[in-house]
Copies of this chain bind each other. A is one copy, B any other.
């Protein structure tokens, strides 16, 4: 399941509770667009703001609505016993894989992060994707640590949070990382604004926030990358630069949630308190930019 396009949908919330009907409609949209996999309750799905019961319920709804498309869900939590409980829940709900970022309150050392993954994979029967997301976890993986963790049985993918800005350097980094990890472990790119560069640099999968709302467009971009059509990838990605400007300023979650609100795809407000979608003049500007884009 860790190849091609993995779409990360929002989990729309109303006063802290999942708006289930809307959530299911977002998943159904992804299933109909035939994305390769669905990352339900990822960062974009606000997993860290939900209770264990909500995460189980959301995962069950996602697996059903995905209609056979593999679903991955996040099992991240600060308390390791909770991570293991969430892993049990996810597996019982029928996920095909789990996503784990090294959440912590105290900043972690590399040896501690290795121990965390080592303990969790021992208790899993579905594959795990290692989630490198320094912006939310405060922890940055070195390629050496990623490679050590990728060698653990049950680890099947790494989801990279950062990539060199320059195209050739990105290619060199991905090639170097690939030499250090087992052949069955795929390399994924996240951070939509750098994902076209990541795919062209040789990443196997786009862990995509954009695809959670616009799966068809994202799928066409992914397929072009898979076919080696660099020109088409750059054209499709370049058209989104107006959106990436907002991503860099507000983070992908606030932007995609604002877009979903503007399009009436979710109720307003849809984010967990105290996170706010973009307001005022900037919201109007985003609406204007959106009107000029042909997203689907």
Residues on B with C-beta less than 8 A from A18 are none
A81 to B106, CA, bound (A): 22
B48, A105: Cβ atoms closer than 8 Å: yes
Q: A106-B253, A251-B106 are in contact. Are A112 and B276 (CB under 8 A)?
A: yes
Q: Is the beta-carbon distance between A79 and B276 smaller than 8 angstroms?
A: no
Given known contacts A48-B105, A49-B105, A251-B106, A272 and B116 CB-to-CB distance under 8 angstroms: no
The answer to whether B16 touches A79, judged by C-beta atoms less than 8 angstroms apart, is yes
A115 & B274 in contact (Cβ 8 Å cutoff): yes
Q: How far is the CB of A139 from chain B (nearest CB, A)?
A: 11
> Roughly how many angstroms separate A212 CA and B248 CA in the complex, as a whole number?
42
Contacts of A111 in B (CB 8 A): 276
Q: Check A240 for interface membership: any CB of B closer than 8 A.
A: no
Tell me if A92 is interfacial: C-beta within 8 Å of chain B. no
* A153 CB contacts on chain B under 8 angstroms: none
The residue of chain B having its C-beta at the shortest distance from the C-beta of A276 within the complex is B112
CB-nearest residue of chain B to A117:
B274
Number of copies: 2
- The answer to whether the Cβ of A293 comes within 8 Å of any Cβ in the partner chain is no
* A274-B108 in contact (CB<8A): yes
Answer whether residue A113 sits at the interface, using C-beta atoms and an 8 A cutoff.
yes
Q: Which one of B103, B106, B138, B272 contacts A79 once the chains associate, using CB atoms below 8 Å?
A: B272
The reply on A152 being an interface residue by CB < 8 A is: no
Determine the chain B residues whose CB is within 8 A of the CB of A116 once the complex forms.
273-274
A16 and B253 contacting across the interface, CB-CB below 8 Å: no
A121 beta carbon closer than 8 Å to chain B: no
* Nearest CB of chain B from residue A281's CB, rounded to whole Å: 15
A136 to B108, CA, bound (A): 10
Interface residues of A in 236-289 (CB under 8 A from B): 251, 253-254, 272-276
Residues of chain B within 8 A (CB-CB) of A51 are 79, 82
User: In this assembly, does A183 line the interface, its C-beta being within 8 Å of a C-beta of chain B?
Assistant: no
Q: Which of A16, A81, A106, A272 is packed against the most chain B CB atoms within 10 Å?
A: A106
Q: Give the residues in chain B near A49, CB-CB below 8 Å.
A: 78-79, 105
Give chain A's interface residues, CB within 8 Å of chain B.
16, 43, 46, 48-51, 78-82, 103, 105-109, 111-113, 115-116, 119, 135-136, 138, 251, 253-254, 272-276
The 6 closest A-B pairs by CB, nearest first: A48-B105, A112-B274, A116-B274, A115-B274, A80-B273, A16-B81
Can you list 24 contacts pairing A with B, beta carbon distance less than 8 Å? Answer: A16-B80, A16-B81, A48-B78, A48-B105, A49-B78, A49-B79, A50-B79, A51-B79, A79-B272, A80-B272, A105-B136, A106-B136, A106-B251, A106-B253, A106-B254, A107-B135, A107-B251, A111-B276, A112-B274, A112-B275, A113-B274, A115-B273, A116-B274, A119-B274
